[in-house]
Each structure stands twice: as structure tokens, then as C-alpha cells.
């Protein structure tokens, strides 16, 4: 199960990487533009934060397969560590995924809305596909069901491609796609933090602490202080 941050905000990534078992970071052109800085220094800073082993996903912007491949080569020779190139599932994109697979460049097929486009990307050599759960829901579809269908197809066809579900509006959607068999999710920092937000947790922690202090005194604010 992969837990991937969908952001290019350095401070948010640094914070989540410190506290959570993060497996990597996904970016796209919109996310990078939002940070209002030069994209290469930004990507290199993210790499420094997460280390060389964790996966960093970088998306191409070209439309033609050959140009996508050129961008992918540039990304992989400029940014160190574990890199995956994100390629949209257009006809040209599928062609590019095939070409990149032959060169040994790892890819994630993005903008996935249907199980069949995910299947084509997987057969072309994509290592991951990223179905857009909430965007599918907004189009009167069922994003969780699409994730489940993709997982079933990959399993029945013995395809090694993994489902990294994307596009969420709440934690329930994240839970649902994991229950549907997704191999991982990529979500923005605010949703990552919402996973832990439950009023009962803070209430229980405070109750435990209050009862302890009542018994052992205000100076016993740690287990070691009661020796």
C-alpha cells in the first residue's frame, strides 16, 4: 500500500514526510505552477526532502509521443533518485509509454477515467495508473467502482501494473478505494492530515493524561518522572 503526497509545497511535504510513512510525491503542471517558482529547483528540493529512494512523479506537458519521450529523458537525467514519468492516457501518450518502456523509463499513466484506458496503459508498459476518483464521481460515474474494476482486470490478466488512485475530496473516498483493492493513493496534504482528525482521539488522550496527573501530580508529565 503506497501513501503518496500530491503536492509541490515544500513545507507541507517536509512536515508530512517527518511524521507519516510516506512513499513518495506526485506532481503535475498545475501543482508546480501553483508554487510560483522555477520547476527544476523545486523538484530538486522535494528530492532532497524525501531522499533518493522514495518515488517522485513528474508529468510531461508535450502532446506528441516523441516529444513526451524527450521530456521524459530530460527529467530522468536531470533529477536524481527514483523517478516516474507521468503520461496522460491519450493515443500519443500510450505510444509514448510503449517507447519509454523499451528504454527502461518508468511511467505512471495519468488522467485515467475508464478501466479500458487503464488496461491499454498497463499493456503498453505503465508501472502505475492513476484513476481520478472524485472527477469520475463528478461526471455521474462511480470512481470507487472504476478503481475496483481496474484492479480486477489487472488481476485476471496477470498484469503487474499498480493502481495509484488520485483525485479525492474526502477521507471516505480514500478508505473506499483501499477497500476496493487500490495499491495506493496520492492525496493532497490537507486530506493526509484529515485521516487523523477525529474528536474522540483528542478527547481520549486528554482524559488519559488528566487521570494520570490527578494520581501522580502535575510534575509527573511523563512516565520517567514517576520513578
Q: In CATH, what number is assigned to the domain containing residue 137?
A: 3.20.20.70
What is the domain extent for residue 222? 198-227
Measure the CA–CA gap between 90 and 206, rounded to whole angstroms: 52
Residues 155 and 225 in one domain: no
pLDDT in tens, 191-215: 999 988 888 988 999 999 888 888 8
Q: How many domains does the chain have?
A: 2
Q: Do 213 and 181 lie in a common domain?
A: no
Mean pLDDT of 82-108: 98
> What pLDDT is stored for residue 65 in this prediction?
98
Say what the pTM is.
0.93
Provide the pLDDT for residue 226: 60
List the grid coordinates of 142: 462511480
- pLDDT tens track for 5-14: 999 999 999 9
Positions marked active-site = 86
Instruction: Look at residue 227 in the predicted model and tell me its pLDDT.
Output: 57
| Between 198 and 45, residue with greater pLDDT | 45
1 close to 184: Cβ distance less than 8 angstroms: yes
Alpha carbon distance 196, 198 (integer Å): 6
75 pLDDT exceeds 90?
yes
Amino acid at each position: 500500500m503506497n501513501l503518496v503526497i500530491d503536492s509541490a509545497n515544500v513545507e507541507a511535504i517536509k512536515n508530512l514526510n517527518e511524521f507519516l510513512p510516506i512513499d513518495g510525491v506526485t506532481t503535475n503542471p498545475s501543482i508546480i505552477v501553483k508554487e510560483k517558482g522555477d520547476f527544476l529547483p523545486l523538484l530538486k528540493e522535494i528530492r532532497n526532502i524525501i531522499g533518493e529512494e522514495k518515488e517522485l512523479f513528474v508529468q510531461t506537458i508535450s502532446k506528441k509521443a516523441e516529444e513526451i519521450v524527450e521530456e521524459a529523458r530530460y527529467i530522468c537525467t536531470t533529477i536524481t533518485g527514483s523517478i516516474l514519468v507521468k503520461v496522460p492516457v491519450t493515443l500519443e501518450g500510450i505510444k509514448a509509454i510503449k517507447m519509454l518502456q523499451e528504454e527502461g523509463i518508468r511511467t505512471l499513466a495519468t488522467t485515467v477515467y475508464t478501466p479500458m484506458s487503464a488496461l491499454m496503459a498497463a499493456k503498453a508498459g505503465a508501472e502505475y495508473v492513476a484513476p481520478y476518483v472524485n472527477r469520475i464521481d463528478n461526471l455521474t460515474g462511480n470512481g470507487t467502482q472504476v478503481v475496483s474494476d481496474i484492479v480486477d482486470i489487472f488481476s485476471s490478466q496477470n498484469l503487474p501494473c499498480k493502481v495509484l488512485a488520485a483525485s479525492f475530496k474526502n477521507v471516505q473516498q480514500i478508505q473506499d478505494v483501499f477497500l476496493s483493492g487500490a495499491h495506493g493513493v496520492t492525496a493532497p496534504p490537507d486530506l493526509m492530515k484529515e485521516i487523523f482528525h477525529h474528536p474522540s482521539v483528542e478527547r481520549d488522550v486528554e482524559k488519559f493524561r488528566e487521570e494520570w496527573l490527578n494520581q501522580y501530580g502535575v510534575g509527573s508529565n511523563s512516565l520517567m518522572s514517576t520513578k
